[in-house]
Structure 1
Amino acid sequence: MSTPYYEDVSPGSGSLAPRAHSASSDAKSLSLNGSWRFRLSPTADAEDESFAAQGYDAGSWPEITVPGHWVLQGHGAPIYTNHLYPFPVDPPRVPTENPTGDHLRSFDLPAGWPVDGDAVLRFDGVESCARVWLNGEQIGEFKGSRLPHEFAVGALLRPGGNVLAVRVHQWSSGSYLEDQDQWWLPGIFRDVTLQHRPEAAVRDFFVHSPYDHRTGEGTLSVASDPAGRITVPELGIDLATGESTTLPVEPWTAETPRLYDAELATGGERIPLRIGFRTVAVEDGLIKVNGRRILFRGVNRHEFHPETGRTLDLDTMRRDVELMKQHNINAVRTSHYPPHPAFLDLCDELGLWVIDECDLETHGFVEQEWRDNPVDDERWTPALIDRAARMVERDKNHPSVVIWS
């Protein structure tokens, strides 16, 4: 008997390689947030997969809001644990009673959607395991609740009547890696977006912007796939990606979060950037930024709202950062997982040192003296590496991030 995908220790299948996050682009995009049809089942296999087929009638299903948690919208109840798992510990198996939410969303492509190029379907956060279909075709499944997953879907799109189906399981093998002193809140809780990918669109980019405190100069180079040009009007910079330039700049720190507006342009896409110049080093047992020792006056921050759980809007995130700044807090650990990407944009803008934490914790195994801990089992290694890679690749261009945790 084969292992069901939600109990498989792999991180999933079908998704694209992780890449740097960009808040905006001149490429077309379509938000798929909003009202979705929803059906909750008590077990993972209570219903077959016919709901994902073309022409399925879900008109009698209730609606829920995406992003959101179904347990905060009248379907089931949230669960809180500190370090104990809320189910019997038997990795990678999960309970038969495994609340499973089927989600359906129909959409049309907006007028003017380009016919050339490709398209990417992006999920920024789904707890804890999802299988995805578009127009009746299964495109993949994934685990890693607080991490982005993207799928190439251009060949499956049509101008109108597209149907996106997502089956979400509350418990999966991934749940063993997410025992994070928390409320367990299943659902599609971050944004869902369809992004057009033109020919020669940016597949990935990496901003390198060290600062030399001895000379007061910063060096800028940007690696981009495909190659393009980087411009920083305020500094008079216009150079090809892969090249570098050194010139006097104001450094980025949590106290003086100096950012320079820039643009990365390839043959198919333009992406606005905000660049901060800073160098992080460990010298003589001290963490130094721009040659100066820094003292963290920090806090741990779960991503949580009393009404919407881990679904936070931009105003709430901004208030969090402003509140920390007002109380002389200068650092935040994103316990215990990567935050919404907009939160890191705010840390760049307003100034906080960030300890960016991977979506990985197996705290509950302490109760059995760490026996059967996934981190000691090489079968789980691809899943562990996938989580670390997705965090680092997504967040590598933030000057505020000074430690990976």
Structure 2
Amino acid sequence: MLVMRESRTRDCRILNGMWRFYPDLDHTAEAEEIWRDALPGSQQCAVPASVNDLFTDPRIRHHVGLYFYERMVLVPGTWDQSVILRCGSATHEARVWVNGQEVGDHRGGYLPVEVDITDHVTPGEVFRLTIAVDNRLYQDSIPPGEVVQQDDGTWRQDYRHDFFNYAGLHRSVALWSRPRTYLHDVTITTSYSGSTGVVSWSADFSEAPASIQIKVLDHRDVSVIAESEGSSGQVEIPHVRLWTPGIGGLYDLEISAYDEAGQLLDCHREPFGVREVAVEGMQFLINGEPFYFTGFGMHEDHETLGKGHSDAHMLQDFELLSWIGANSLRTSHYPYSDEFMDYCDEHGIVVIDETAAVGLNWAIAGGIVGDEVGATFTPGHVDDKTQATHKDHIAELIQRDKNRPSVVMWSIANEPDTAVPEAREYFAPLVEWTRSLDATRPVGFTNVMFAPAGVDTVSDLFDVLMLNRYYGWYAHIADLKKAQEVLREELEKWQDMLHKPIIMTEYGADTVAGLHSVHNVPFSEEFQVAYLKAYEEVFDAVPAVIGEQMWNFADFQTKFGIARIDGNRKGAFTRDRRPKAAATHLRQRWTTR
């Protein structure tokens, strides 16, 4: 689905703010069908935001099940078009009612929920909007999980990913007007030769219009660069401004549809950039030039907000990325908000776009804290149902982000169990599926350290090797000399085996801000810097390494446990974005490359 954008034919009403709120703590809401009338009580909740950190009641923070949101909404009297409800995300499943009547649902917590409610509302009148958010994860979810009923009758959510299972309406909720005949989708591809850019498009409408007009506009001043017509075709851009890392460089493809009388039916502007991405040997090329990734795996995670989107917090993060010299990031471990991706497109930030397929590894959780043994790829764990959900998630992600120049690669999973033969049967069809949906970008996944070179069974299927390694922390802790030896040995083995580019997508050590030691004691800021330096010496010695994305940009909240005290502390910045010594070190390295 296209990102909704205002135009001559489309209008928007943002519904963010304080909503009536009802957590279904006793799990009776469905039996009582509480959505048929106004929600009981007077509790409220902010939208967008995660539920978990807002309330003092621990039952709400740790609730497993449904949370209900409700508000009254006025449909503008001037809207004589279709009325669409769109929510940027609802984690992990949403059901929507209008005046007590169910109108739609969506499963998958990190991609948009979009429901056509035209037949259920009237322009100029108010309706009652109810949204139920379900935070439960099951075996066939992406990410997967298991709901366990405890002896006292309460539910416990088990999951194998190493970040907190925040829930709620995490991104903006909006009411949109859309023409009855509308642009359903458009695919834009680009190339260039010398100073001439070539833009190709294929547009899909809900109904075929009489005519379609195409304009290429300068994104900065909306001047017309080129014109054409038709649902598909291509045009040239003379003296093209290439989309360039660190700079950006956007155009808009304006698509206007008309009826037989020449009346405008729909108009949509889709931003795009002219650039080419390729993998050649052990190089990753953007516009024909070798690109070296510097940056982080990140999380949508802030105090109070949890995973709720905030433009102000987002801007602060991007300013810190610029300050430290990062040119790229991975959306670990799920798709990020439209607003976040728009900023990357605008400012030339290179993105590895990742699905929410994290935790597909039954022996571990984020590499360290699993307590269950058993095979991963077996019925009831990761099986055909999981694979079908995974396939749908890949399709939704590509449909949303395929036109974004910032996205240079798809990452279809994080740290799955690829040390077993069954992994190949699971992943081979998904790699083929991803390439069938988008042949213009490389495909990868991030490989866990328990599936090293010679053990992993799937990496030859992918275009780029992305490695998460914690030698010197989870293995050979504090022995940085040994960590260097093991890391270099493995990287050189991968290099000899596959002759493909390698990006270190995770490496790091938990660090308590303000803890100092002259002896490089683990958890101290000095040890974190020494750890980074040890890894960097190896990166610089192995030609196949074409990127370093430290784990993590900032400390973030996780499940509590003996290995996690108030979250994961591997950040270069604290959770409230204060720099550790590692940030200064990375700034010096990355801004002088």
TM-score for both structures, normalised by structure 2: 0.58
Deviation at 1:401, TM superposition (A): 0.3
Q: Does 1:172 align with 2:137?
A: yes
Distance 1:375 1:392 in 2: 26
1:65-104 aligned within 5 A: 65-74=46-55, 76-77=57-58, 98-104=64-70
Contact 1:122 1:194 survives alignment (8 Å): yes
Taking the aligned partners of 1:79 and 1:387, their CA distance within structure 2 comes to 28
Aligned to 1:109: 75
Q: Determine whether 1:359 maps to 2:382.
A: no
SS at match of 1:171: coil
Aligned ranges for residues 1-80 of structure 1 at < 5 Å? 19-26=1-8, 27-45=10-28, 48-53=31-36, 56-58=37-39, 60-74=41-55, 76-77=57-58
Partner residue, 1:5 = none
The partner residue of 1:271 within 265, 268, 275 is: 268
Work out whether residues 299 and 331 of structure 1, in 8 Å CA contact, stay in contact via their aligned partners in 2: yes
Distance 2:338 2:250 in 1: 17
The normalised TM-score by structure 1 is 0.83
Task: Flag the 1:312–1:157 CA change in 2: closer, same or farther, 3 A.
Answer: same
State the match for 1:148 in structure 2: 112
Q: 2:276, 2:320 → 1: CA distance? A: 27
Deviations 1:262-294 (A, max 9, x none): 422223222233321001111123211111111
Return closer, same or farther for 1:52/1:66 CA change in 2, 3 Å cut-off.
same
Q: Does 1:197 align with 2:178?
A: yes
Query: Deviations along 1:360-391, whole A, 9 cap, x unmatched?
Result: 21255224244356784112233111111111
Instruction: Give the superposition deviation at 1:252.
Output: 0.9
Moved more, 258-267 or 304-313: 258-267
Q: Supply the AA of the counterpart residue of 2:55.
A: G
Structure 1 gap segments, 5+ residues each: 1-18, 81-85, 87-96
Q: How many Å separate the matches in 2 of 1:264 and 1:189?
A: 30
Aligned to 2:470: none
Structure 1 residue matching 2:133: 3-state secondary structure: strand
Aligned to 1:209, what secondary structure does the other structure show? strand
Distance 1:79 1:183, change over 3 A: farther
- In 1, Cα distance between equivalents of 2:329 and 2:242: 20
- CA displacement 1:270-329 (0-9 Å, x = unmatched): 223332100111112321111111111121110112121111222321222222122211
Give 1:47 shift.
5.1
> Does the 8 A contact of 2:105 with 2:113 survive in 1?
no
The one of the two structures with greater contact order (alpha-carbon pairs below 8 A, sep at least 6) is 1
Aligned AA (2:75): L
Matched, 1:218 2:197: yes
Among 326, 329, 352, the residue aligned to 1:329: 326
- Residues 347 and 353, structure 1, Cα contact 8 Å, conserved in 2: yes
Larger CA Rg, structure 1 vs 2: 2
The one-letter code sitting in structure 2 at the alignment partner of 1:404 is W
Q: Residues 294 and 370 of structure 1: is their aligned pair in 2 closer, same or farther, counting only changes over 3 Å?
A: farther
Secondary structure (helix, strand or coil) at the match of 2:130 reads strand
- For 1:79 and 1:369, the matched residues in 2 are separated by 32
Aligned AA (2:213): R
Bigger strand fraction: 1
